[in-house]
Structure 1
Amino acid sequence: MKVWKDRALLEHYLHIHRIESVFHEQIVPHLSLYGFDRGELVCSQGDPSQYLYVLVKGKVKVYTTSAEGKTLILSFKTPLEVVGDIEYVQGTDILNTIEAVSSVVMIGVHHRWLKKYAKDYPPLLQFLLRIITQKFAVKSNSLSFNLMYPVEVRLASYLLSVSFDESGSLFTEEPSAIHLMDTANLIGTSYRHLNRVIRQFCKEGLIERHKGCILVKDREGLSALANHNIYEK
């Protein structure tokens, strides 16, 4: 994680996302920019919640881990999104693990400043209310609904999400490493079934597989198979 004290850049992100009014003038000096590299964890399920983050650039992966240690993808998020909002309001530990899928920039503020200067500030409360209600509207059917899709659709959506950033650009022309067991858990299928689907995708020319790495060869084909990306709403 990197921390920047660049006020001009901070004001730039506040402006382009039209959220200048969300933060009280007394809180703005306590806002910082945080950078996370691809694959870096923003926060981990079960950890104490200390910061409220606003995602202003990049893409993150949200997943949960069961008591048995199995993980499951919940969604991928792009700007404008908030991390730690429910935890801040309810005073709970981190509910889900958030991982940077691309290089990520977030505006962050410690809870103590929010509680001191903004616990009753209407613009911030309205902003959080809007974000949280959107999350509950999506989550009300997303988990069970996503698992009702065939594995082909889930894998196509997953590959699109981990291969392309929020602007739709390919992260890299080099193949991305994919851990099959982890991916099987994340999309809720078996290792054996996932292997069969990957072989099918290779045969159809959608992807190329080489030594544990996968390169998307036909983005349009994957998009058509997914119909719409079930992990990005």
Structure 2
Amino acid sequence: MQILTGEARQYYIKKYPIDDFFSFDIYPYLEVCQFDKGEWIFQEGSYPDTMYYMIEGKTKLYMTHKNGKVSLIEYLEAPRFMGEIELLNEARYTKGIQTVTTTICLSIATQPCKERLLADALFLRRLCVFLGEKATTMTSKYTQNQAYPLENRLAAFIQLSSDQGIYKEKHTEICEYLGVSYRHLLYVLAQFCEENILEKQKNGYHIIDVQRLNQLAQEIQ
């Protein structure tokens, strides 16, 4: 993680102001952070004293089950809070969050202002709206898995998870995430290649036909 200072800090604060999220001056508790692709924002099982507001980038949320199996729960896109549940929950046990792309966050040191945050009606109202939208998104993902064929769901997933036009997620991870068999996933990926939507290369699948991929993905949006 790199803390941005000087002109870079001012640039992001001006571009993504969050003054209206709070009823007090949050800037003394705030830093602008840049995470490289593949870097962990939260290690699973850690006890963070920071809440992040992601303003640019994408991340993945992981969870390890009691049997040791690791599951990809969700892809997270800016703008959104991360670490808000840990702020509200005294147990403060977090899931793992790893970046998919270079990611810029506004970092709020919660311990020095925790009582003010938890007593701030303006912030809590904003947080309630965000948590409601997050719950709706998770419900929508579940119903999409039941209602739409893999072609549409995979197209939407490739849009979400690709970086600079390249898709290269782990097949086993995505099979579980989308609720499909390994064989079915490979079949649809091969189908996309045959239709020149994707092209398989050494570093992943390159998106060739963005328009067609968008058409498939938009059917479930």
Q: Same fold (TM over 0.5)?
A: yes
> 1:144 matched to which residue of 2?
142
> 1:83 matched to which residue of 2?
82
How far apart are residue 224 of structure 1 and its match? 1.1
> 1:133 matched to which residue of 2?
132
On the 8 A contact 1:62/1:77 being kept in 2, the answer is: no
On the 8 A contact 2:60/2:72 being kept in 1, the answer is: no
1:180 counterpart (171, 184, 189)? 171
> 1:48 matched to which residue of 2?
47
Q: Does the residue aligned with 2:118 lie in a helix, a strand or coil? A: coil
* 1:62 to 2:53 alignment: no
Unaligned runs of 5+ in 2: none
Instruction: Give the partner amino acid of 1:13.
Output: Y
How far apart are residue 103 of structure 1 and its match? 1.1
Q: Does the residue aligned with 2:72 lie in a helix, a strand or coil? A: strand
On the 8 A contact 1:160/1:219 being kept in 2, the answer is: no
- Aligned length in residues: 218
On the 8 A contact 1:57/1:78 being kept in 2, the answer is: yes
> 1:226 matched to which residue of 2?
217
Instruction: Give the partner amino acid of 1:108.
Output: S
Give the 3 Å change call, closer, same or farther, for CA 229–77 of structure 1 in structure 2: farther
Instruction: Give the partner amino acid of 1:103.
Output: T
Unaligned runs of 5+ in 1: 165-170
How far apart are residue 29 of structure 1 and its match? 1.6
TM, length-normalised to structure 1 = 0.80
User: Percent of aligned pairs with the same residue?
Assistant: 25
> 1:74 matched to which residue of 2?
74
> Using the alignment, how far apart are the partners of 1:73 and 1:217 within structure 2?
28
How far apart are residue 86 of structure 1 and its match? 2.0
Encode CA deviations 1:94-137: one digit per residue, 9 max, x unaligned.
55432222211101122212315433123322222222222223
CA RMSD after TM alignment = 2.6
TM, length-normalised to structure 2 = 0.83
On the 8 A contact 2:72/2:173 being kept in 1, the answer is: no
On the 8 A contact 1:49/1:87 being kept in 2, the answer is: yes
Give the 3 Å change call, closer, same or farther, for CA 179–136 of structure 1 in structure 2: closer
> 2:184 matched to which residue of 1?
193
